[in-house]
Amino acid sequence: MQNESTPPQAGDSKAVGAQAGEPKTGDSLIGEEYEVEVGPVAHGGHCIARTAEGQVLFVRHTLPGEKIIARVTDGETGSRFLRADAVRIIEASKDRVEAPCKYAGPGMCGGCDWQHAKPGAQRRLKGEVIAEQLKRLAGLTPEEAGWDGTVMPAEGDKLPQGQVPAWRTRVQYAIDDEGRAGLRKHRSHEVQPIDHCMIAAPGVTELGIEKREWPQLAAVEAISATGSHDRQVILTPKPGGRLPLVELDKPVSVLRVEEHDGGVHRVHGRAFVRERADDRTYRVGSGGFWQVHPQAADTLVRAVMQGLLPRKNDTALDLYCGVGLFAGAIGQRIGEKGAVLGIESGKRAVEDARHNLKDLERVRIEHGKVDQVLPRTGITEADLIVLDPPRAGAGKATVKHLAGLGARRIAYVACDPAALARDLGYFREGGYKVRTLRAFDLFPMTSHVECVAILEPALKGS
């Protein structure tokens, strides 16, 4: 997922109250408890259960097949569904483990969904979600999608039970009213103060964000570059708040988010960090998007290049291109007569992409939204297409346009299985079939998963 959308952050904050788009329909059921048997996993880090009256429960902190006591956290009588936490386990799944993190559990940090599941079970659950979304939204079985049903761990993430991969190279800490750093509780603006995030990368942990107080700040984002020793913090002051003197445990660049325009400005040090992937260095400025897992960029480039198999003299599109990761990879493989056009909506990301790829004369980066810029280019055909859209997906109109360009191969990189499945359905309507699909566990302990689908024109009658 590139710059048009931020990567999932630990403890993403969402509105509290009635389900989105639902008017209040009755009396609040928050705090009510039900004994239930837990059904299948669902998209979003919870499992499905039903009350004795048949009302649907989306339950966190549980696993399929368990018998539990579920306490309602959101919903009213008459709601289509209720949200709940498993507050007592009556019959546990064989896949259950004690959560390694002391902040994981009902009412605490909302950043990790599956701390209570064995690592192999986590990947299996993610695979079940992908399969369900493919079937429901694209009408595809795993076999029809060229997928063996597995979700592959990143290199180095297979650890003994009780240990947690320290993978998150970018952590958005929320600051509570007392100036303590923490993470958001699930679907809440409330902050859970912490003294250590187990999934934070060592380069983030060594900054010591959790050890000090942050008066007059609303948030502190910590970034630890994978391809260099660059460290960066981005400070968001409270309205009218003053910027504190930043003294951390390691050398670090400091940026601040301006209250009046939301822009990110340099306070001292570099305004960017240097990342490394596919034997190239990429500048990523002002908190711009880069894959969060240290192995993610190389893993995804390999999957995309293995699927596309670029040839000399190919023409290619890299859509939602961010700082140019895939455009750079293709540009190095298509020779002096090939050409790549990247399109990205983030102004700073476009500047970075042009800087990062300035040695590749046959690569051009355009600024703007894909659905607006692509039709203006006048491009009527391309050999290869890569798209890495925001969480909402590319959408029907953009997919229809891409399907009309006659590409030999299309690589779709997705961090949301539902958006991927919807768009794969649109591609099928446009005459493309899925050749292969690969899934990667690049967000361990959370419900998120990254997929790479390779598409090709469908033979008539197939």
CA distances (Å), origin 299, targets 159, 168, 304: 19, 15, 9
| Tokens representing residue 384 in the block | 């290869």
Quickly count helices (H) and strands (E) in the chain: 8, 23
β-pair type (191-193, 272-277):
unpaired
The answer to whether residue 112 is catalytic is no
The number of residues making up the chain comes to 462
Q: What is residue 137's DSSP assignment?
A: I
Sheet of 315-319, strands arranged across = 151-153, 432-441, 450-457, 409-414, 384-387, 315-319, 339-344, 363-367
- What sign results for the dihedral spanned by CA atoms 389, 393, 394, 399? positive
User: Amino acid identity of 344?
Assistant: E
Asked if 19 and 73 count as a contact pair (C-beta separation under 8 A), the reply is no
- Identify whether the C-beta of residue 304 lies closer than 8 Å to the C-beta of residue 326: yes
Provide the 3-class DSSP secondary structure of residue 329: helix
Assess contact for 126 and 151: CB atoms under 8 A.
Answer: yes
**Which member of 109, 112, 415, 451 is catalytic?**
415
Beta-strand pair 170-175/217-224: antiparallel
Per DSSP bridges, beta strands 170-175 and 181-184 are antiparallel
Between the two ends of the chain, the Cα-to-Cα distance in Å is 31
> What dihedral angle (degrees, nearest 10) is formed by the CA atoms of 109, 112, 113, 118?
-130
Nearest alpha carbon to residue 403 among 426, 436, 371, 375: 426
User: Which residues have a catalytic role annotated?
Assistant: 415
